[in-house]
Amino acid sequence: MKRLALLILIITLPIIAYYQYQKYRRFHPPADYDYPANDSIDVHYHNPEVLQSYYKNVYEIGAFARQMWYNQQIDVRFPDQENTEATKALRYYQQLLQTTAYLEGQLVRSQQLKGEGFTNQEIKIIEIEGLSPQSFRLLHRQSLVGLKLGDKNAEVWELQQLLRQHGHDIPLDGIFNKITEQALKDFQQAQKFYPSGQVDENSLRKLIGL
């Protein structure tokens, strides 16, 4: 009887150990599947749906990978290429990663542009028109070319703001007076341009950092 009990124990112990190992393996995936959200993204992006999709995907990546492991023991990072379900899971997982990386790139770039002083509306135009930030600055400030003594408008105010950014302590009042003219001449001279005191293309490009 003792021999029979010992034989049963010898047979059942590996089976029990195997099932315990499978249970442990199921609830202990081989890696951390979570996708860390980037803290350098623009959380006030002009299109809230892009931000929502990004955070949804960040959650979905980890959730999907764990689900595949818990339910089917498929490691989506290194699946068995001969397993049809595993290859399907891999394709979906890679698609999630690619989409998330693309959205993340958009949001990070937007935050960088805001660091350079661009607004949501300006960033939207840059993206729609496929412009570089430098091209946008030049294109949307062409109205400054030709400004001269006596002008009074919003463009003069923007010119004064640009001159102030270059260290010229002048009033910000939208009036192209002698003070503004002298500041522009000083700037042109420092750039080795003819100090005409009138905004030309070369002066504008330097003022906006091109």
Task: Note whether 123 and 33 are same-domain residues.
Answer: yes
Q: For residue 14, is it within any domain?
A: no
> What's the confidence (pLDDT) of residue 11?
57
Is there a domain that residue 68 lies in?
A: yes
What DSSP letter does each residue of 116-168 carry, written as one string?
TT--HHHHHHHHHHT--HHHHHHHTTGGGTT--TT-BSHHHHHHHHHHHHTT-
Residues 55 and 91 in one domain: yes
**Are the beta carbons of 208 and 138 closer than 8 angstroms?**
yes
- Beta-carbon contacts of residue 133 (< 8 Å; ≥ 6 apart): 113, 116, 118, 126
**Domain containing residue 158: CATH number:** 1.10.101.10
Three-state secondary structure call for residue 175: strand
Per-residue pLDDT tens digits for 102-148: 999 999 999 999 998 889 998 998 898 888 887 887 777 888 889 89
In a domain, 62, yes or no: yes
Per-residue pLDDT at 33 = 82
Given 129, 160, 184, the domain boundary residue is 129
The answer to whether residue 12 is domain-embedded is no
What is the CA 31 to chain-centroid distance, rounded?
26
Residues 79 and 14 sit within 8 Å (Cβ to Cβ): no
pLDDT(20) > 50: no
For residues 5 and 20, the model is more confident at 5
Q: Check pLDDT > 80 for residue 209.
A: no
pLDDT, residue 72, reads 84
Reported pTM = 0.63
Domain membership flag for residue 4: no
Last residue of a domain, one of 129, 154, 185: 129
What gap in Å lies between CA 32 and CA 128, rounded to an integer? 37
Residue 170 belongs to what domain range?
Answer: 141-207
pLDDT at 1: 59
Q: Choose one of 83, 107, 129: the last residue of a domain.
A: 129
In a domain, 92, yes or no: yes
Q: Are residue 162 and residue 125 in the same domain, yes or no? A: no
| 146 and 124 in a common domain | no
Q: What pLDDT is stored for residue 45 in this prediction?
A: 96
pLDDT at 157: 93
Q: What is the 3-state secondary structure (H, E, C) of 65-109?
A: HHHHHHHHCCCCCCCCCCCHHHHHHHHHHHHHHHHHHHHHHHHHH
145 and 101 fall within a common domain: no
Same domain, 111 and 147: no
Instruction: Answer whether residue 84 shows pLDDT above 70.
Output: yes
Portion of the chain with pLDDT greater than 70, in percent: 84
Is 171 among the domain residues? Answer: yes
pLDDT of amino acid 3 = 60
Q: Mean pLDDT over residues 31-58, rounded?
A: 92
Report the number of distinct structural domains present in the chain: 2
